[in-house]
Each structure stands twice: as C-alpha cells, then as structure tokens.
Chains A and B, each alone.
Chain A
Amino acid sequence: NAGVMQNPRHLVRRRGQEARLRCSPMKGHSHVYWYRQLPEEGLKFMVYLQKENIIDESGMPKERFSAEFPKEGPSILRIQQVVRGDSAAYFCASSPPGQGKVGTEAFFGQGTRLTVV
C-alpha cells in the first residue's frame, strides 16, 4: 500500500537546464497538488490537477513552470531554464475523489529537493 511517491529525492541542475519532478499519487487518488518549500519558509501552493486537467494554477510562476497529470503515468512538474532561486523542496500531495469535502486529508510525498548550481 504505497504512499505518494516522488522521484528523484534529490536533483542537481546547472543554471539554464531543465528540471523534471515526478509524482505518483496514492492508489485510488485522482487529485494531485504541488507545493514548494523555500528555505526557512512554509509550503506554498503551486498547482492542483486532476487527470488530464489543470484545475487551479494560481500559485505557479507565470514563466518557465508547467505541470501535467496525464491519463497514464505520474504527474510531472517541469521547470525550464532553472535559476538559483528555484532551489527548494517540491512536495506533491494527493487526495481521493470527492476531495472537495471539508476536511479531506491530503497525503504528502517525501519531496524532491532541487539544487540549482
């Protein structure tokens, strides 16, 4: 009964490269959230997806960042042309269908720690 799986756990990229972060939600979960945790800060919402649909991307930077959750396979958070300020921990969370119900719990992965050098 695997939880939310994220890979890689650690990712090092040089400035200007692309970073791809993967998230496989818990079995039976169809809702995926991405959060970013900058050093010494709390988690900030980035994007919420359901299968093949972006529902809320109000927390995504306007440029270089994109996310998808295809019909088959994991959710991908893609950062193009990374800069040092993108260095952070990126966490994925999933929740079951009917997640709009008040108090529904989100289950978090262990995160991907991105370091841009």
Chain B
Amino acid sequence: GNSVTQMEGPVTLSEEAFLTINCTYTATGYPSLFWYVQYPGEGLQLLLKATKADDKGSNKGFEATYRKETTSFHLEKGSVQVSDSAVYFCALSRGGATNKLIFGTGTLLAVQP
C-alpha cells in the first residue's frame, strides 16, 4: 500500500542552523509529494510540493527534491529561524478519483534563539 515515513522528532536546532527532515515514501506509480506545516493551534498549510521526479519544490527558504530512485522527498532549509518552529508533515497523493493525502507522522521542529 501507499505510505510515508518521516524522521521522528523532536528536532531541536539553534537559530541559523541547517535543517534536514527526512521523508521516504512507498507508492505505486507516480505520486505527488507535499510538505505541510502546522503551527501551534493551527491547521495545516501547504509549504511546498512536487509532482514529478526530479522536481524541486521551494517556498520561504525551504526546499525538497522529488527523488524517485531513492523514493525520498527530504525537506531542507539553509538557515532556520525561531518562527519556523512547528510540526512538519510529509504527504503523498495519488491523484485520481479521490486525491486523498497520505501523511507521515509529523516532525516537531523547535528552533532556539
């Protein structure tokens, strides 16, 4: 079946540190891949997405590249800020009739000043 595995948190970093959150997936065919972010007490917001192999999604300094050979979609940011503290969810979608999202368990990022 389709599934998403992401690194467990919490991840604690100092401000301006480099961030990597690993995400790998299992899916048949060619899913779309997403990173969503959830700030405390809020709903999920789309951070970035990629719809085909080798695509790079980017937004607000975050990047992730769709790697079909390693079935991965790792999230990176060169210099994190305190305001980036949130839970990050990797997800996939197969499109089609339902287009539902399948989420990883989320990774809590805490950035300290």
Instruction: From A41, A101, A111, give the contact of B43 (CB < 8 A).
Output: A111
Q: Check A100 against B89 for contact (C-beta < 8 Å).
A: no
Q: Check B43 against A43 for contact (C-beta < 8 Å).
A: no
Knowing A42-B89, A43-B44, A109-B43, say if A48 contacts B95 (CB, 8 Å). Answer: no
Interchain CA distance A41-B8 in the complex, whole Å: 11
Q: Check B98 against A55 for contact (C-beta < 8 Å).
A: yes
For the A-B complex, the count of residue pairs with Cβ-Cβ distances under 8 Å equals 73
Q: Does B105 lie at the interface of the complex (its beta carbon under 8 Å from any beta carbon of A)?
A: yes
Which of B13-21, B45-53, B69-77, B78-86 lies at the interface with chain A? B45-53
Q: List residues of chain B with CB within 8 A of the CB of A99.
A: 99
Interchain CA distance A54-B42 in the complex, whole Å: 27
Q: Check A45 against B43 for contact (C-beta < 8 Å).
A: no
Residue ID in chain B nearest A46 by CB atoms: B100
Q: List residues of chain A with CB within 8 A of the CB of B93.
A: 102-104
B40 nearest CB across to chain A (Å): 11
Q: Does B103 lie at the interface of the complex (its beta carbon under 8 Å from any beta carbon of A)?
A: yes
Instruction: Tell me the B residues contacting A by CB distance below 8 Å.
Output: 4, 30, 32, 36, 41-46, 49, 51, 89, 93, 95-106
